């Protein structure tokens, strides 16, 4: 299966020949970029899609434009949710639970990157609080809606290679703040969340995977200046292994493809608990240093014991047991 798809595969390539009529999917962060394309592609293949967004007007405009440009009209319902506010997260989850409709696929897509030091509404460091803790509470609260055979896909990133989680100081109370260290911590947490969620739910036939979508020029990088983006790419290229191809952006449909590959196309046992990139399961790679990002996943982002520790710390931080 993995050999059929790769770096350049798009959402339409991955879903070619697949009819999702009768399936229900949920995608967080559908106001721009990967979330919009993920929701569009699922709806185009027949799925009933629920998308979440902090700004519903922006999300509706983006979804309508994407569906109009692609000539598809599948229904995509919207729910308001701000992942940086656990009150908003819990309210959205409560509405979905009250509605009682099951889901065959949940894609935890939304996130922020490399933002200045700040706090969520609940006092958590912005990136860890938004990217990990918001999704941790939301997904666990709707887990009962996931049908047998359903899948959870959590968007991690090659940026997990920047830093492991710090369970002693998750909010940088005693550690000097660095934008990409904070981002790396949150993306490692995303991968570990998928590991432990998969362990807890696989007996119900529900599997979870994390994915690196690739480098895509989207609103995710809005906190970076053009100069800082160019400097980062130059450093990545300088640290790539000798003979490796230079960094290049994916298109949005290429970036969203791995989420759909892991969530729909790939065999459940192949991706359950694993980290995926370029429409295949990634290899363990602890060798590269710096910002090389040449592929693979750090072992600390796949360690089951580490994942259980993060789960317990996350429950402690949000004041809720799952």
Q: Which tokens hold the place of 7?
A: 């770096």
What single DSSP character describes residue 284?
A: B
179-201 vs 304-318: helix crossing angle, rounded to 10:
100
Contact 173, 117 (CB under 8 A): no
**Residues written for the chain:** 322
For residue 284, count other CB atoms closer than 10 A to its CB: 12
Q: Residue 225 contacts by C-beta under 8 Å, 6 or more apart in sequence?
A: none
Beta-carbon contacts of residue 222 (< 8 Å; ≥ 6 apart): none
Answer yes or no: are the C-beta atoms of 67 and 78 closer than 8 Å. no
**What is d(CA 62, CA 51) in angstroms, rounded to the nearest whole number?**
12
Active site amino acids: 183
Q: Would you say the C-alpha torsion 64, 140, 277, 280 has a positive or negative sign? A: negative
């Amino acid at each position: 299966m993995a050999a059929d798809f790769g770096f350049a595969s798009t959402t339409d390539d991955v879903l070619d020949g697949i009819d999702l009529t009768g399936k229900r999917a949920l995608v967080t962060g559908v106001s721009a970029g990967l979330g919009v394309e993920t929701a569009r592609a699922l709806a185009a293949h027949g799925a009933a899609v629920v998308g979440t967004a902090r700004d519903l007007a922006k999300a509706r405009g983006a979804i309508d434009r994407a569906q109009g440009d692609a000539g598809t009209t599948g229904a995509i319902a919207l729910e308001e949710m701000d992942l940086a506010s656990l009150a908003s997260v819990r309210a959205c989850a409560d509405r979905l639970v009250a509605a009682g409709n099951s889901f065959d696929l949940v894609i935890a897509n939304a996130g922020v990157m490399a933002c200045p030091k700040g706090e969520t509404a609940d006092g958590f460091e912005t990136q860890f609080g938004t990217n990990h803790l918001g999704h941790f509470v939301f997904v666990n609260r709707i887990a009962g809606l996931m049908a047998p055979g359903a899948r959870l896909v959590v968007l991690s990133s090659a940026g997990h290679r920047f830093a492991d989680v710090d369970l002693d100081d998750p909010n940088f109370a005693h550690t000097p703040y660095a934008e990409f260290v904070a981002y790396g911590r949150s993306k490692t947490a995303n991968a570990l969340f998928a590991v432990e969620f998969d362990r807890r739910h696989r007996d119900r036939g529900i599997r979870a995977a994390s994915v690196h979508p690739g480098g895509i020029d989207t609103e995710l990088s809005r906190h970076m200046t053009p100069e800082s983006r160019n400097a980062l790419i130059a450093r990545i290229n300088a640290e790539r292994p000798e003979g490796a191809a230079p960094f290049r952006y994916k298109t949005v449909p290429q970036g969203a493809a791995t989420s759909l590959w892991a969530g729909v196309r790939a065999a459940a046992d192949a991706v359950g608990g694993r980290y995926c990139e370029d429409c295949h399961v990634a290899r363990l790679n602890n060798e590269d240093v710096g910002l090389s990002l040449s592929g693979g996943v750090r072992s600390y982002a796949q360690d089951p014991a580490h994942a259980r520790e993060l789960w317990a710390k996350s429950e402690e931080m949000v004041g809720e047991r799952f």
